[in-house]
Amino acid sequence: MPSSHFLQINEIVQLIYLLKPRTVLDVGVGFGKYGLLAREYLELWDGRGKYNQWSRRIDGIEVFEGYLTPLHDYLYDNIYIGNALDIIPDLDVTYDLILVIDVLEHFTHDEGVRLLEACQRKSRNFLVSTPKDIGTQEEAFDNPYERHKSQWQKGHFDKFEKNFFVPNLKSYIYLIGEDAPKFTGAVVNHSQGVPR
């Protein structure tokens, strides 16, 4: 479905806020939730006091064009239509942060590894979340790409040397990249709070 469960939002938004990326790529934008949250907490909470004058670049990738609405046009600077495996290697931008939120399970395991490796080459950091139990999901909302193809486990992310695991009840959440070691030993969750 073009959404993800709400029990991971706090952790993901807190990491986005703490990283303060200037450029973001949202892979599998779906409903646009993480584009909206990144735009809100990176732009409105940066102390500028300016509304609707974006200073950060937030791009997205969506394989199913039927999900895109005028909201997406407002939130994202660019949306690339197609398979992220084909798009990411050809991008002329290196992002501060790539979001891969509830996307991996829609690829085979081998394709997912290739996707993560492409993200590593095109970003300073990438933030991955995938359900601990993908269940069974076939086509949804007339989108054949919604089918779940692979179940990921915590150990699948060990190959990435610089990683930070965020405990979560329903998802495996990892920050992978240059800034991950800064979070080692930190507690990232809703109880920590985010200072204004």
* Closest to 58 in 3D by CA, of 104, 18, 96: 96
Amino acid 50: pLDDT: 72
Please answer whether residues 164 and 185 qualify as being in contact, where contact means their C-beta atoms are separated by less than 8 angstroms. no
Amino acid 151: pLDDT: 72
Domain positions in the chain are 6-183
Amino acid 105: pLDDT: 87
Amino acid 1: pLDDT: 47
Strands 171-177 and 163-166: antiparallel
Q: Rounded to whole angstroms, how far apart are CA atoms 30 and 64?
A: 8
Output the tens digit of pLDDT for each of the chain's 196 residues: 455 656 688 999 999 999 999 999 999 998 799 999 999 999 987 777 677 788 999 999 998 788 788 999 999 999 999 999 999 999 999 999 999 999 898 789 999 999 999 999 999 999 999 988 666 655 656 656 566 677 778 888 989 999 999 999 989 999 999 999 998 767 666 444 443 3
Q: Rounded to whole angstroms, how far apart are CA atoms 68 and 87?
A: 17
Q: What is the CATH number of domain 6-183?
A: 3.40.50.150
Q: Rounded to whole angstroms, how far apart are CA atoms 52 and 32?
A: 17
Q: What is the pTM of this model?
A: 0.87
Amino acid 144: pLDDT: 60
Amino acid 194: pLDDT: 41
Q: Judge residue 143's burial from the number of C-beta atoms within 10 Å of its C-beta, 0-12 exposed, 13-18 middle, 19 or more buried.
A: middle
